[in-house]
Amino acid sequence: MALILLLESSASVCSVGLSRDGTICAVRENSDGNKHAELLSVFCEQVLKEAGVEPSDLNAVAVSGGPGSYTGLRIGASTAKGYCYALGIPLIAIPTLEAMANGMRKEASDGDLIVPMIDARRMEVYTAVYDFNLKNIAPVIPHVLEENSYQNFLEQRIVWFGGDGMSKSKELLARHANARFALSGMPSAKHMAELAESKYEKKQFEDTAYYTPFYLKNFQPGPKRSMP
């Protein structure tokens, strides 16, 4: 039973939540993109104030552990570490795709498969396959979508696709009778609460000093901008 600050900064959504005993009691989100550095710490202060608690009341901080945006993951990890060091509390890392799949379970049924997707470049997504109980069926990989993607799964069961990479899959896979497209799969601190509580109870903590997010791919800088 714990009071946990939840940070999600792996993709375009900047999301901060506060959970008590695995239930969300406050949340702040912004989906404008590229505002994590500006908003993440502000949202932390706001959710604590809304819930009427002090930082010293926290039992742990949980951060979305990736894959996702290199910059976003670094900002989330740095913010989480700052709280953990200052308060002397443990750090919990929640796999981003697993948390997304947890959100998508609201629309799925037992026996269905769940495929969260994080938008990467062109037709590529970061993805994995889970069953309804969040058992990992296929590992986290960068996957280039094509018409035959997930064919073996779609022939056997209903498969739910979600996340900010879903639009790419929808164009290719909507013709399959077993393909479904979830509205609840975007990365969000709200989807992390139960998973963070479970890890807290099992004492599955990260080494705060040496923790790094799961980037999946090496950092690829964009083109240099010319100075004005």
Q: Identify whether residues 74 and 11 lie together within a single domain.
A: yes
* Token pair for 209: 């000093």
Q: Identify whether residues 167 and 196 lie together within a single domain.
A: no
Rounded distance between C-alpha atoms, residue 102 and residue 48, angstroms: 24
pLDDT for 218 equals 60
Q: Identify whether residues 66 and 139 lie together within a single domain.
A: no
* Token pair for 42: 């502000």
What's the CATH code of the domain at 160?
Answer: 3.30.420
Is residue 223 in some structural domain? no
* Among 196, 202, 187, 184, residue whose Cα is nearest residue 19: 196
Is residue 19 in some structural domain? yes
pTM, entire model: 0.93
Please state whether the peptide bond connecting residue 67 to the residue before it is cis, i.e. omega within 30 degrees of 0.
yes
* Token pair for 167: 């639009």
pLDDT for 33 equals 80
Amino acid at the residue 210: Y
**172: containing domain:** 107-181
Determine contact, residues 158/112, Cβ cutoff 8 Å. Answer: yes
pLDDT of the chain along its 228 residues, tens only? Answer: 899 999 999 999 999 999 999 999 999 999 988 899 999 999 999 999 999 999 999 999 999 999 999 999 999 999 999 999 999 999 999 999 999 999 999 999 999 999 999 999 889 999 999 999 999 999 999 999 999 999 999 999 999 999 999 998 998 999 999 999 999 999 999 999 999 999 999 999 999 999 999 998 764 544 443 333
pLDDT for 224 equals 41
Q: Identify whether residues 112 and 177 lie together within a single domain.
A: yes
Strand bridging mode 159-162 / 179-181: parallel
* Token pair for 180: 């479904």
Q: Identify whether residues 78 and 47 lie together within a single domain.
A: yes
Q: Identify whether residues 174 and 72 lie together within a single domain.
A: no
pLDDT for 175 equals 92
**HEC letters along the chain:** CCEEEEEECCCCCEEEEEEECCEEEEEEEECCCCCHHHHHHHHHHHHHHHHCCCHHHCCEEEEECCCCCHHHHHHHHHHHHHHHHHHCCCEEEECHHHHHHHHHCCCCCCCCEEEEEEECCCCEEEEEEEECCCCEEEEEEEEECCCCCCHHHHCCCCEEEECCCHHHHHHHHCCCCCEEECCCCCCCHHHCHHHHHHHHHCCCCECCCCCCCCCCCCCCCCCCCCCC
